[in-house]
Copies of this chain bind each other. A is one copy, B any other.
Amino acid sequence: MSRPKPQKRATVHDIAAAAGVSRGTVSRVLNGGYVSAEARAAIEAAITDVGYVPNNAARTLKMRRSQAVAFVALEPHSLFLDDPNIGAIMLGANAALSLADHQMVSLVVESARDTERVARYLSGGFVDGAIVVSARTRDPIIKVIADLRIPAAFVGHPPELSDSIPFVGIDNVGSARSITARLAASGRRRIGMIAAALDRDSGLDRLTGFKNALGTEFDPSLVADVPHYDYGSGVKGMRLLLEREPAIDGVFAASDAIAAGALEALREAGRSVPGDVGVVGFDDSTWAVRCQPQLSTVHQPAKELGSFAAQLVLRQLAGEQVEHHGELLDTPIIWRDSA
């Protein structure tokens, strides 16, 4: 296997030689310390002259600090292609890390092969901490991260074995209960739910909140269980509900994408929204305002989630002892036209 040429690059030694000083003085120019004006000038000239850039690998090795934090995205297929929130979470995290002069590097885990490689990457000293998004309870990477004892934070409900790792999320149970209650308060009698991702806490919690809101009126036959938070699942779920209960007049969809699909199925069945059926979603993603009619939904503060998770990691990096029970951000209900 042919290796490429080493691509020789300037080091502190080279600029030291060029400026006629020692490596130590160069280091002091770069990192602060007592340096005479003429030495500083000569060194800075030499630096721009040879186009010197510090070698991060060496610096990291010595300092045990890489100034980088990983953003680990699990199940990226559904995440990147169906869930518009992930982008906002990333941007929020990036902004917060950027302010603290840290680099965010995002890692995509889509296969077992990836899990192993990412674990190697995380443990290898390239990053100081990790933000983990959308972890299924059973994902092996979680145990890896817990074992590494690397400063970390979860976005979303924490998996059970992560009691040592802080998290930030939203109150899925409470939010689902609130919006369902509001839907019921608008006079709807037969309210169903299209529940998704019941293998994840977010999915389970939204279902629980729905049950709580309806209390004794809850009818299990009015819950359609679909695998994903996506549009296609919404179409299928709504068709199923209409088949089971033609008199249905209210639907809580577990995500905006699902709600959009439900609207399509309702249109197909000749029902008007919100006239015949009231529909509410979850996320307040870009889906919500694209639909006809626009969706009433639960606002998920995606950017803030990313930003808060980044803070959690940064605080641990600063040596602070972070309380581990996590934080839930507010989720205001946005009432539009679909219910």
Residue of B nearest to A6 (CB): B64
**A252-286 interface (Cβ within 8 A of B):** 260, 264, 267, 286
A-B contact pairs, 21 of them (CB 8 A): A1-B318, A2-B318, A4-B318, A6-B64, A53-B124, A54-B120, A56-B125, A57-B60, A59-B124, A66-B126, A76-B94, A77-B91, A80-B86, A81-B88, A98-B113, A98-B117, A103-B117, A103-B118, A103-B121, A105-B121, A126-B126
Are B76 and A81 in contact (CB-based, < 8 A)? Answer: no
A2 B319 Cβ-Cβ under 8 A: yes
A165 to chain B, nearest CB (A): 16
- Distance (whole angstroms) from the CB of A48 to the closest CB of chain B: 12
Which 3 pairs across A and B sit closest by C-beta, in order of nearness?
Answer: A80-B87, A56-B124, A105-B105
Query: Using Cβ atoms and an 8 Å threshold, which residues of chain B touch A151?
Result: 4
Shortest beta-carbon distance from A139 to chain B in Å? 17
8 A Cβ contacts from A179-238 to B: 231
> Are B57 and A125 within 8 A (Cβ)?
yes
- B104 and A286 form a contact (CB under 8 A): no
Distance to closest chain B CB from A281 (angstroms): 14
What is the CB-to-nearest-CB distance from A74 to chain B, in angstroms, rounded to a whole number?
13
B125 and A55 contacting across the interface, CB-CB below 8 Å: yes
- CB interface residues, A 68-114, toward B, < 8 Å: 68, 76-77, 79-82, 84, 86-88, 90-91, 94-95, 98, 101, 103-108, 110-111, 113-114
When distances are taken between beta carbons in the complex, the residues of chain B under 8 Å from A91 are 76-77, 80, 108, 110
Residues of chain B within 8 A of A267, CB atoms compared? 292
A37 interface residue per 8 A CB criterion: no
Closest chain B residue to A114 by CB distance? B98
Given contacts A5-B319, A58-B125, A101-B117, 5 further A-B contacts (CB under 8 A): A53-B123, A57-B66, A80-B86, A90-B108, A103-B117
Closest Cβ of chain B to A46, distance in Å, is 17
